[in-house]
């Protein structure tokens, strides 16, 4: 009995200290639900989402989403390789889909599964604005922000016991949906924290710049987003991405640094 308790405590400690290093910040982050468990769940949920929604194929907008997504993915890989994190994206299975929906929204699930809603395209106002959106959403995924929120919630609920964290039962699937916000299935996604937003803004700017998109556009995009929020249909993206004037100021001041970062990769002109 005593041995068993000791074993349980060891397992719990093992789980709690199972931290991952965020390559973009160098910070240790909590990862109770490992990618090896998270990715298959994410991939299955993504496929299900695509079967339940209208995916747009063969239009110039759909082609633009794919083109921007591919450039963002390549840029992320280049940045990680150059910073000693080759292999970080090995288990990623990038996919980019445009979905017919008037919601002003976009997201990236763990493992690089991206959806852009047609409703956000008028605010993106072209390829560079779209790159700002996709760069930001990909940044959340790369930095494991959803995973951190999910892990933190597990700890709060005292669920940090090895046997209970596999994402296979109903409760865990619901938690996954809540923290990764798979649109219509759940409808409620918890907002990202201010700290996570700031981090995703910075990472997103670097990636879009390395991909050849002008990082100055990111501040303009968020200006358009907040103007829209005073209209009749506030952007869904803002419900998960609390925003304010300091975000726009921060993006403006970081844009030159993003261009310097891109220059290290030989990217000096931007579209
Ligand atoms: Zn965000």
Instruction: Encode pLDDT of 222-264 as tens digits.
Output: 999 988 877 667 888 888 888 888 999 999 999 999 999 999 9
- CA separation (Å) from 209 to 22, 147, 201? 20, 26, 12
Kindly give the pairing relationship between strand 55-56 and strand 113-117.
unpaired
pLDDT mean over 57-85: 96
- Picking from 99, 194, 91, the residue whose alpha carbon sits closest to that of residue 141 is 91
pLDDT tens-digit readout, 13-56: 444 445 667 776 677 766 667 788 789 888 988 998 999 999 99
As a whole number, mean pLDDT of residues 48-74 equals: 97
CB of 17 closer than 8 Å to CB of 10: no
pLDDT, mean over the chain: 83
Q: What is the 3-state secondary structure (H, E, C) of 104-151?
A: CCEEEECCCEEEEEHHHHHHHCCHHHHHHHHHHHHHHHHCCHHHHHHH
Q: Is 84 left (phi over 0), alpha (psi -120 to 50) or beta?
A: left
- At residue 35, the pLDDT reads 83
Helix (H) or strand (E) holding 21: strand 19-21
Report CA(197)–ligand 1 centroid distance (Å). Answer: 5
Residue 240 Cα, ligand 1 centroid: separation in angstroms? Answer: 7
Residues involved in catalysis: 137
DSSP classification of residue 22: -
Predicted confidence (pLDDT) per residue in 113-154, tens digit: 999 999 999 999 999 999 999 999 999 999 888 877 777 766
Cα-to-centroid distance, 137 and ligand 1 (Å): 6
Q: How far is the CA of 230 from the centre of ligand 1 (A)?
A: 19
pLDDT reported for residue 147: 79
Distance between Cα 171 and ligand 1 center (Å): 25
Mean pLDDT of 101-105: 92
48 CA distance to ligand 1 middle (Å): 23
């Amino acid at each position: 009995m005593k041995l068993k308790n000791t074993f349980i405590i060891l397992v719990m400690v093992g789980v709690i200290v199972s931290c991952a290093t965020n390559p973009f910040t160098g910070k240790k982050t909590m990862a109770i639900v490992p990618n090896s468990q998270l990715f298959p769940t994410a991939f299955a949920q993504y496929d299900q989402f695509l079967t339940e929604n209208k995916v747009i194929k063969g239009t110039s907008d759909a082609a633009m989403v794919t083109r921007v997504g591919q450039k963002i993915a390549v840029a992320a890989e280049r940045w990680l390789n150059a910073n000693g994190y080759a292999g970080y994206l090995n288990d990623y299975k990038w996919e980019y889909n445009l979905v017919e929906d008037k919601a002003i929204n976009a997201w990236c699930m763990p493992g690089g599964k991206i959806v852009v809603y047609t409703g956000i395209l008028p605010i993106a106002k072209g390829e560079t604005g779209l790159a700002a959106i996709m760069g930001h959403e990909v940044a959340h995924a790369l930095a494991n922000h959803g995973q951190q929120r999910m892990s933190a919630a597990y700890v709060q609920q005292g669920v940090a016991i090895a046997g209970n964290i596999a994402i296979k039962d109903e409760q865990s699937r619901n938690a996954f949906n809540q923290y990764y916000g798979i649109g219509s299935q759940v409808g409620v996604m918890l907002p990202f924290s201010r700290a996570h937003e700031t981090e995703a803004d910075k990472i997103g700017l670097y990636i879009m710049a390395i991909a050849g998109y002008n990082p100055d556009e990111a501040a303009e995009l968020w200006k358009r987003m907040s103007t829209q929020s005073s209209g009749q249909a506030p952007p869904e993206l803002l419900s998960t991405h609390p925003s304010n004037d300091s975000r726009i100021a921060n993006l403006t001041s970081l844009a030159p640094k993003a261009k310097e970062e891109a220059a290290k990769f030989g990217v000096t002109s931007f579209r």
